[in-house]
Amino acid sequence: MTSSVQRKPVRKAVFPVAGLGTRFLPATKAIPKELLPVVDRPLIQYAVDEAREAGIEELIFVTGRGKTAIVEHFDTAFELEATMGGRGKSLDVLDATRVKPGNLVTVRQQVPLGLGHAIWCARAIVGDEPFAIFLPDELMIGEPGCMKQMVDAYNDVGGNLISVLEVPRNEVSSYGVIAPGEQSGALTEVTGLVEKPAVEDAPSNLIVSGRYILQPEVMRTLETQEAGAGGEIQLTDAMAKMIGTQPFHAVTFAGRRFDCGSKLGFVEATLALALEREDMGEDVRAMVTRLLG
């Protein structure tokens, strides 16, 4: 593959948001998990803001039944804006929720067959371009954001990239793990990928952390892929098949990750971000101190 093809700009991002959010029931019975707020911003908003910071404007949401509220969140709320405007209230708080007409597309994942299948559902919209993937459950906080760090690396090396984080070795069996090759700063060559390995079999302690930039060829791989771990079509398996045929690198994210797929991680993210806010940080710190007695 020529370098000019590899350097096609990353303009599209896929957000798999079809999950049922059963870990957060009953909160998610009628409200998509991705709209649960971390302080006052829905989880999905953090991911979309991160995409925009990286220069990505075309957003592809892979949704399921009962997820239309996610699209509503990024639509113009005429009545709300008219009412706020009539009362002299600033509309700045809604700026981040506006998406240019035509820049948000949804596709349905009608059967929950795994992350790989969800990505494959977006194949017609992705077309023949490289694309980013955001798993909104993973809240990545950094300056610049995780995807901006990845796009900067992509502009240097092209091919496929994944975001990784270093974890204690006894935690690796919960994640996808890379087999590392040559390393240069935050960039590590990926020579293999293993999904949820046993601790003793793990090739490293670098875990895949919910952000990807992939070439469109991964869609052809997913097309014919058999079910893997958990009886689902695993994205990790499809990516592993591309190693050796295209450049494949991992970017060690300089920042923090909160696992908002778990209740504990969600509470941690809410508390950590609230403590850092100028408008409420001191009050939250005093409140926590009081609660801890």
Domains of the chain: 8-261 (3.90.550.10), 262-293 (no CATH)
pTM equals 0.91
- CA separation for the pair 224, 151 (Å, rounded): 29
Q: What is the CA radius of gyration of the chain?
A: 20
Residue 126: partners with Cβ closer than 8 Å, 6 or more residues away: 12, 14, 60, 216, 219
Q: What is the pLDDT of residue 228?
A: 64
Which of 127, 144, 126 lies closest to 12 in space, CA to CA? 126
Calculate the average pLDDT of the chain.
90
Q: What is the pLDDT of residue 225?
A: 67
Q: What is the pLDDT of residue 227?
A: 64
Q: Which comes out higher in pLDDT, residue 35 or 65? A: 35
The predicted model gives 90-119 an average pLDDT of 88
Q: What is the pLDDT of residue 229?
A: 63
- CA separation for the pair 77, 80 (Å, rounded): 5
Write out 60-82 in H/E/C secondary structure: EEEECCCCHHHHHHCCCCHHHHH
Q: What is the pLDDT of residue 2?
A: 41
Q: What is the pLDDT of residue 4?
A: 43
Number of DSSP helices (H) and strands (E) in the chain, helices first: 11, 13
Most confident of 34-48, 70-84, 99-113: 34-48
The predicted model gives 94-122 an average pLDDT of 88
- CA separation for the pair 50, 145 (Å, rounded): 6
User: Is residue 277 within 8 Å of 285, Cβ to Cβ?
Assistant: no
Q: What is the pLDDT of residue 101?
A: 83
Q: What is the pLDDT of residue 242?
A: 87
Reply yes or no on whether the pLDDT at 1 is more than 50: no
User: Is residue 194 within 8 Å of 179, Cβ to Cβ?
Assistant: yes
Q: Report how far Cα 167 is from the mean position of its chain's Cα atoms.
A: 18
Q: What is the pLDDT of residue 41?
A: 95
Q: What is the pLDDT of residue 244?
A: 86
Q: 147-179: per-residue pLDDT in tens? A: 999 999 999 999 999 999 999 988 888 888 999
Reply yes or no on whether the pLDDT at 214 is more than 70: yes
Residue 10: partners with Cβ closer than 8 Å, 6 or more residues away: 54, 55, 56, 129, 130, 131, 132, 151, 154, 213
- CA separation for the pair 20, 243 (Å, rounded): 32
Q: What is the pLDDT of residue 6?
A: 47
Half-sphere exposure of 241 (CA within 13 A, CB side): 16
Task: Extract the tokens encoding 17.
Answer: 């948001």
**For the chain, percent of residues with pLDDT exceeding 90:** 61
Q: What is the pLDDT of residue 138?
A: 94
Q: What is the pLDDT of residue 290?
A: 95
Reply yes or no on whether the pLDDT at 9 is more than 80: yes
Q: What is the pLDDT of residue 5?
A: 45
Q: What is the pLDDT of residue 232?
A: 73
Q: Which comes out higher in pLDDT, residue 233 or 27? A: 27
